[in-house]
Amino acid sequence: MYELVFLGTGCPNGTKRRGEASIFFDGLLMDCGDECVDKLASLNLINRVDSMLITHLHKDHIADVAALLSLIALNSTELKTINIFSPPGFFKILEEHTNISKILSYFSEKISIELHEGLIKNKCIGGKIISAYEMNHNVEDYGYLIEFDGAKLFYTGDTRKCTIPIKADYVIHDSMSTESEKGIVEDTGHSTAKDAALFAREVDASVLFLTHINDNWISDNNELIDEAKIHFRGEIYVAEDFAGFSLKSKSELHLKLRNEVQDRKKDRV
């Protein structure tokens, strides 16, 4: 089983209910917004982070990176390598706003950073294969395809509806609001629940997670689900901070589908 934990599911800034963007998936940290470190610590996950996938350089996706790297270094008993994937310019921004190089040099026997800036393809990290795809936000944003145990998970980061040439079993998609706010959602480079559902359908996904939700507009998760399910027939979940899911391998997913079909047949008898 592969563990997926949503740490921050809000946008554009964190609220009490929904913090800034960050998601933990089996050692990979996808984005690292404000309060990510506190949340990882409260779940005892700090030492399990071995890679970071940064989708883009907006503050709500990178605010806690320096704090997290420092804490990983502080906790390490031996040299730990952290792979960081991001669009170009990430480390320069980090240096401008933090004293990260100084921190890392101080901890040089505890932590080593491998930086992969740009559109990487088929990079093998910890048994998973990672590829980046350009999405459609107001700044350069990478969506990441992660292949694990035969299954594929795709995380969009912030994006308007766009089409990319992949297939994925699981999709985690920006879903700032519903079609009722379409104008402002599109202007700010985000997606509605409908956009997310259409993307999930196009890539043949079985499961769609909606995240990066604006709390001011969406108080009831059913508003998002009701809109998404018109366009996508798979399972749909609205992410909440601290919600955890177990992702299945490709063969387990097939088994589950087969059982569901058999159950439906039984119901008809």
Shortest Cβ 42–Zn ion spacing (Å): 22
**Alpha-carbon span 125 to 8, nearest angstrom:** 24
Contact 111, 30 (CB under 8 A): no
Shortest Cβ 34–Zn ion spacing (Å): 11
Name the one range near Zn ion by CB under 5 A: 80-88, 155-163, 178-186, 196-204: 155-163
**Alpha-carbon span 161 to 223, nearest angstrom:** 19
C-beta of 63 vs 228, nearer to Zn ion: 63
Shortest Cβ 57–Zn ion spacing (Å): 8
Binding-residue pattern over the window 90 to 119 for Zn ion, x denoting contact by CB under 5 A: ------------------------------
C-beta of 58 vs 161, nearer to Zn ion: 58
Name the one range near Zn ion by CB under 5 A: 84-92, 109-117, 151-159, 255-263: 151-159
The DSSP string of 26-60 is TTEEE---TTHHHHHHHTT-GGG--EEE-----HH
C-beta of 58 vs 248, nearer to Zn ion: 58
Shortest Cβ 137–Zn ion spacing (Å): 5
For the segment 18-77, give every residue that binds Zn ion (CB under 5 A).
58, 60
Shortest Cβ 184–Zn ion spacing (Å): 14
Nearest to 8 by CA among 148, 218, 215, 235: 215
Query: Residues near 105 by Cβ (< 8 Å), separated by ≥ 6?
Result: none
Nearest to 2 by CA among 123, 131, 127: 127
C-beta of 35 vs 60, nearer to Zn ion: 60
Shortest Cβ 147–Zn ion spacing (Å): 25
Name the one range near Zn ion by CB under 5 A: 98-106, 119-127, 153-161, 250-258: 153-161
**Alpha-carbon span 86 to 107, nearest angstrom:** 22
Contact 111, 80 (CB under 8 A): yes
Shortest Cβ 126–Zn ion spacing (Å): 26
Binding-residue pattern over the window 157 to 176 for Zn ion, x denoting contact by CB under 5 A: -x------------------
40 token code pair: 């990882």
Is residue 227 within the footprint of Zn ion (CB under 5 A)?
A: no
C-beta of 2 vs 155, nearer to Zn ion: 155
Say how many residues touch Zn ion, by CB under 5 A. 3
Shortest Cβ 21–Zn ion spacing (Å): 5
Strand-pair category, 207-211 with 170-174: parallel
Helix ranges (H only) for the chain are 36-42, 59-62, 65-75, 90-97, 100-106, 182-187, 193-202, 221-228, 250-268
The residues binding Zn ion (CB under 5 A) are 58, 60, 158
